[in-house]
Amino acid sequence: MAFVKKEITHARPAPLSERSVIGWMHKHLFSSFYNSILTIVTLYIIYITTKGLWVWGIADAVWIAESRRECFDISIDGACWAGVIAWMDNIFYGRYPKDELWRVNVGILLLIVWMLPLWLPRVKGKIFIAITLISFYPFLANYIFLGGESSFFSQFMVSAAIVSFVVIMLNAIIGVIQGQSISTFIATRLGSSLKSEKSQRNLNLALLIITFIIAFLWQQSWVLGEVPWTKWGGLFLTLVISGIGIATALPGGIILALGRRSKLPVIKVLSTTFIEVFRSVPLITVLFMATTMFPLFLPEGFVLNKLAQVIIAVCLFNAAYMAETVRGGLQTIPKGQYEGAHTIGLGYWGTMGLIVMPQALKNMIPNIVGNFISILKGTTLVSIIGLFDILGMLSSVSRDLSWIGLHKEPLLFGAMIFFILCALMSKYSRHLEAKLSTNRKT
């Protein structure tokens, strides 16, 4: 019964049914008689619903009108988008003064441009970008959005933000063109006069100080009228609250999760209590507590505005949720990874920061982004305690005398905005997962 193979079997392409569109349809949509019927019925249901939506939302809709009355006169069955268009500025910016809207745009644009180099592979010094973004941008944004008199400290931080922004932009441009960081670029341009690392560092420091002084003098001439937070609203306010919530949730969650797994009993008990208390209470309760009870705990005469209280509440609440997500991620890391790290001499922070956290966070990307999405959606609850975020603004449309009773259209518009924002986030998370995956075989 001996058998010895003599020729090699060559690989052949897969049969047509696996590769063509018709093959795919045959396999997935019309594989049997009942499946074919199911497909046709489903298509018919989709047709009916989208047709209704199409006729109401687009075909019969009114785009230009002065009031809801006028909308009805033109088309009784169509959507009245004119109302949404008339309220567009309010939906995006709340009651922020019309002449100052550019400040909101500039602030958000600065944030985007600041982060942009993080995605450019040739740019060096990404940690610097992230650190300055977290430590200086909030002050710059605060000044741009709020305006008014600014303290010396705020001026100092604003100047630091300007300097970092300029450095990051130059660094990004040089990085894209030359593939170098800005300091090596300066050093190579000046050539042999700067041999030692120390003189190079001194030069960089001197350049930084000079730009800082220029920036400081320059920003002193800025005059921005004060826009109190009560005028903030719409999508802008939603993004401010959820943006801060998102930015603090992950670091806060990491600290709490590590605290909960700590071997030190005091830290462990404190973290666990914090997490469990916040997780056992709905966000709306936390918000009410923050605005009514929080001031009781503050020293006499120290008044925090409602927005700050809400932001603190959102941050604490979401950090507690994120902590459990991160803890789940930490549990996916096998014990061997800790032991491997210990045997090369890494201590607790080295093991956590270099070995365990990067892997745990990577495993947790879908959950973390899911958390971010729920933070964004969850902030709409602030409309209940009287802040005019996007939901507050959308429901205000129906109380405008000209557009009285107009509910459906603004809410549908809001739903579309949320859908776009959330879809972008989850799309990016899937991209990130694919990019960071190291298990693939080449």
Please choose, from the candidates 87, 185, 118, the residue with its C-alpha nearest in 3D space to the C-alpha of residue 428.
Answer: 118
Of the candidate residues 193, 196, 221, 442, the single one contacting another protein (CB under 8 A): 442
By CB under 8 A, tell whether 301 contacts another protein.
no
First to last CA, the chain: 39
Residue type, 243: G
**Considering the complex, what minimum distance in angstroms separates the CB of residue 442 from another protein?**
6
By CB under 8 A, tell whether 180 contacts another protein.
no
By CB under 8 A, tell whether 66 contacts another protein.
no
By CB under 8 A, tell whether 196 contacts another protein.
no
Of the candidate residues 350, 370, 400, 402, the single one contacting another protein (CB under 8 A): 350
H or E element: which one contains 161? Answer: helix 152-178
- Residue 232 dihedral angles phi and psi, to the nearest 5°: -70, 150
By CB under 8 A, tell whether 345 contacts another protein.
yes
Residue type, 132: T
- Residue 10 dihedral angles phi and psi, to the nearest 5°: -85, 150
Please choose, from the candidates 77, 43, 50, 45, the residue with its C-alpha nearest in 3D space to the C-alpha of residue 61.
Answer: 77
Stretch that binds another protein, among 138-146, 293-301, 348-356, 408-416 (CB under 8 A): 348-356
Output 97 or 358, the one with its CB closest to another protein: 358
* Three-class secondary structure of residue 332 per DSSP: coil
By CB under 8 A, tell whether 126 contacts another protein.
no
Stretch that binds another protein, among 190-198, 239-247, 319-327, 358-366 (CB under 8 A): 358-366
By CB under 8 A, tell whether 280 contacts another protein.
no
What gap in Å lies between CA 193 and CA 186, rounded to an integer? Answer: 11
Stretch that binds another protein, among 177-185, 295-303, 332-340, 385-393 (CB under 8 A): 332-340
**Considering the complex, what minimum distance in angstroms separates the CB of residue 314 from another protein?**
31
DSSP 8-state class, residue 14? P
Return the structure tokens found at 263: 């071997």
Tell me how crowded residue 75 is: count the other CB atoms within 10 A of its CB.
15
Q: How many residues belong to the site for another protein (CB under 8 A)? A: 23
Of the candidate residues 341, 375, 382, 406, the single one contacting another protein (CB under 8 A): 341
Of the candidate residues 148, 251, 340, 386, the single one contacting another protein (CB under 8 A): 340
**Considering the complex, what minimum distance in angstroms separates the CB of residue 359 from another protein?**
5
Asked if 432 contacts 364 with a C-beta cutoff of 8 angstroms, the reply is: no
SS3 of the chain: helix, strand, coil, percent, to 5: 75, 0, 25
DSSP 8-state class, residue 100? G
Of the candidate residues 358, 419, 423, 430, the single one contacting another protein (CB under 8 A): 358
By CB under 8 A, tell whether 336 contacts another protein.
yes
Give the list of residues 6+ apart from residue 375 with CB closer than 8 angstroms, or none.
242, 245, 246, 249, 314, 318
By CB under 8 A, tell whether 187 contacts another protein.
no
- Residue 361 dihedral angles phi and psi, to the nearest 5°: -65, -40
By CB under 8 A, tell whether 242 contacts another protein.
no
What gap in Å lies between CA 59 and CA 53, rounded to an integer? Answer: 9
By CB under 8 A, tell whether 183 contacts another protein.
no
By CB under 8 A, tell whether 214 contacts another protein.
no
By CB under 8 A, tell whether 347 contacts another protein.
yes
By CB under 8 A, tell whether 193 contacts another protein.
no
Per-residue binding string, another protein, 397-436, x by CB under 8 A, is ---------------------------------------x
Stretch that binds another protein, among 356-364, 368-376, 380-388, 425-433 (CB under 8 A): 356-364
Output 98 or 198, the one with its CB closest to another protein: 198
- Residue 94 dihedral angles phi and psi, to the nearest 5°: 70, -140
Output 125 or 350, the one with its CB closest to another protein: 350
Please name the residue ranges forming H helices in 179-302. 182-190, 197-220, 234-260, 265-279, 283-292, 294-297
By CB under 8 A, tell whether 344 contacts another protein.
yes
Binding site for another protein (CB under 8 A): 336-337, 339-347, 350, 354-355, 358-359, 362, 436, 438-442
